Amino acid sequence: MAKPPTDSAFYTLDIQGMTCASCVGRIERALQKVPDIDKVTVNLATEQARVRLIPHSALSVDDLIQTIQKTGYEANIHQPTGSECAYETAWNADGRVSVIISFLLSTPLIVPMLLMPFGIHWSLNGWWQLALATPVQFVLGWRFYRAGFHALKAGSGNMDLLIAIGTSAAYGLSLFLLLSHSEHTDEYYFEGSAVIISMVLLGKWLEARAKKQTGEAIRALQKLWPEDARVLHAKQDVQSLGNANYRILPIEELIPGDQVIVLPGERIPVDGIVLHGTSHVDESLLTGESNPVKKEVSKKVIGGSMNGDGALIVEAQAIGTESVLSKIIFLVEDAQTQKAPIQKLVDQISAYFVPAILLIAFLTGLINWLVLESASIAILRAVSVLVIACPCALGLATPAAIMAGTGVAARHGILIKDPQVLELAHRINIVAFDKTGTLTIGEPRLLEIIPFGNQPPMPEILASAAGLQLGSEHPLAKAVISEARASGTLPLSVSDSTIIAGLGIEGKLNQGPWKDAVLVLQSLESISKEADFQPVAAKFHSILNNGQTSSVLRVKGRNEYIAVFLFGDEIKPNAKAVIHSLHSEGIQTAMISGDRAEAASAVAKQIGIDEIYASVMPENKAQIVQNLKEISANKNRRWVAMVGDGVNDAPALASADVGIAMATGTDVAIQSAGITLMRGDLTLIPQALDISRKTWKKIQQNLFWAFVFNTAGIPLAAIGYLSPMIAGSAMALSSLFVLSNALLLKDWKPIT
């Protein structure tokens, strides 16, 4: 027996043998009765159970597996790298051969029915019919007896029980007629039982095939891992790729700090930092970004992405379960195995559905027998009710849509982590944004230099300011240095550089137009109380009131102002278009920012934000989100989506109806949100809402058609309009229809 965990443990189990929502409910109820289990959820589409134990539980995974086996199902611990195993039984030779053999044996039984419309009356001898139907009933159909028996032992019912009872009734009636009246071959119903089992087997095979397609997103991500990597023997001069000594190691043997060589056309095996080389990397399957991203020294790379045209040496930082790819796979798997709230209602209905159908089938047989005085017709109609009512489509309706929707969203860089999002996204009527890092780039940039009076050329002003800022880690200093580097301007030499706490920096220039003079670069507001400030105030009055951050470069000790430097956190290029797109869908927008009112208003006005909340402390952001839910001109509840990227946004993301986090932000923000955008592209926001709405629509469509197939077919079967064979075909087709409808989501294209 496995060693018991010392703290709370979480297990994912692969389950074989589930066929309908009743199976799901039975396994969940069995596990919930086990002491020390904190939470359990079972998913039909993925054929998995996710179980969380209470802290310090003595339960082992073997105990969980034994509990599931007692309910009549097989279970194994889930292996993350073997996701295709759950579908193997549907695709292996035995599965295909079973379907083929069942139809080969059933075809001679149904041929006479196909010939009757052409006036040809021919049928097999009853003993031949028995010989063909028996292996279908008790060999190929044994799975239904086994699963149905376990359902009875557990005190509940499922689809297999309905199939076993229904086909046994048709087979038993035929056998009775054969033994009693062997000449009346037209009264045998062996073809009904055989064809029903054949159609159900075909339906389950097609279901598994469709379910396999819904899991393609996971398998596509898993295939991104290379099997091995070229690892340098020891830390050496990475400037010489040609002389690098390396060994090839399996990827599971890599450790953080390893230096890995990645050649052109190879997949990057680890998350890390580029130490040497320049290349373009395709990250499309990870982030949804279609264009290759340039990677050079000090840039981060993501394991699983495809290296392009250059060789790289990468220092491993995160591998295995700590890598971005593993986390993405886990998030998508987690979303696909969780249940949307509406699925819980479906499970509750299914728990009562099978017993109700058994009662309806009994009453159907009894009433038809009393009215028509024909036991054979009564039994056949009862069998039809049992078969048409199988709730497999009902159980697949929601999880199939969730798997397809979250899978296609992941391929486009949108991770839907919480299925509840799918039920709320279509209601969203206001989106609240954080400003810095969400609507803006998140880093101050030097936007403009405005000379004061007759000054030397602009490059010399920039070179002087850059010389003052060399070595400073202040964000504004970095912005000046970055602009100088981008424009090819070399910083001038400065000595005696001194930081003026809270104000700016000063230093003596050793060259240039202000040689030997002491220059000061400080905030414009910091000199507002000086006597000689009036000329500056008159010229830059508008700057002081537009919310931009500004600094003034001046000569210390004399009334000489050189220039004003304007800094701004640049608005993302597509921010205005995204706000317009949301407005066109009738969705209002708001900004919740900790920045000054002037700065927040300037950004909001430029891109068209409806409501502004500025100077908001982190602890108050969540309260504003709560207020947004309540405020409405027509007194209706507003449904709020919050978009953010920082630690200070986490409470608001959790408080919103739908939290949307940028993956370029902090882990805390990402964990607090129901949706994560794998790149800082704002256009993903309306796309995320769009795919969520379409997935919710598919869930509604699937549930509608599942109920239609079941509820409409039951009365038709009860009064004789559906034969057992037609009922079996309809039942199989209903499951296939639901899965095929969900798979239409794979054709979803992002809105532009």
Contact 133, 110 (CB under 8 A): no
* CA pair distance 518, 553, nearest whole angstrom: 11
* CA pair distance 645, 621, nearest whole angstrom: 13
Q: Which amino acid is at 480?
A: V
591: which residues sit within 8 A by CB, 6+ positions away?
432, 433, 434, 435, 439, 600, 603, 604, 609, 611, 612, 613, 614
Which two structure tokens, joined as six digits, stand for 367? 């009433």
Which two structure tokens, joined as six digits, stand for 687? 């796309």
* CA pair distance 539, 545, nearest whole angstrom: 12
Which two structure tokens, joined as six digits, stand for 359? 């009662």
438: which residues sit within 8 A by CB, 6+ positions away?
643, 644, 645, 662, 682
Q: Judge whether 645 counts as a catalytic residue.
A: no
Residue 248 CA to chain centroid, in angstroms? 34
172: which residues sit within 8 A by CB, 6+ positions away?
none
Q: State the angle between helix axes of 575-584 and 684-718 in degrees (0 to 180), rounded to the nearest 10.
A: 30
Q: Which amino acid is at 86?
A: A
Query: How far is CA 691 from each of CA 300, 340, 413, 425, 742, rounded to the nearest angstrom?
Result: 29, 15, 12, 9, 13
* CA pair distance 355, 110, nearest whole angstrom: 31
Contact 293, 283 (CB under 8 A): yes
Q: Which amino acid is at 92?
A: N
Contact 326, 293 (CB under 8 A): no
Contact 16, 23 (CB under 8 A): no
Q: Which amino acid is at 287?
A: T
Cα separation of the two ends of the chain: 55
Q: Find where tokens 């209905």 sit.
A: 349
Q: Find where tokens 């370029």 sit.
A: 664
Contact 641, 431 (CB under 8 A): yes
Contact 519, 507 (CB under 8 A): yes
Which two structure tokens, joined as six digits, stand for 13? 């189990």
Strands (E), 436-540: 440-451, 494-500, 504-509, 518-523
Catalytic site residue from 434, 595, 645, 649:
434
Strands (E), 529-607: 549-555, 560-571, 588-592
Q: Which amino acid is at 505?
A: I
* CA pair distance 339, 555, nearest whole angstrom: 67
Helix, coil or strand: residue 664 = coil
Contact 563, 553 (CB under 8 A): yes
Query: How far is CA 608 from each of CA 434, 470, 600, 603, 659, rounded to the nearest angstrom?
Result: 14, 38, 12, 8, 21
Backbone angles phi, psi at 237, to 5 degrees: -70, 100
CA-based nearest residue to 540, from 629, 449, 461: 449
Contact 712, 389 (CB under 8 A): no
* Dihedral, 254, 257, 258, 260 alpha carbons, nearest 10: 110
The CB density around residue 244, as the number of other CB atoms within 10 Å, is 18
Given 3-state DSSP classes, what are the helix, strand and coil percentages for the chain, each rounded to the nearest 5? 55, 20, 30
Which two structure tokens, joined as six digits, stand for 740? 């095929």
Residues recognised as catalytic: 434
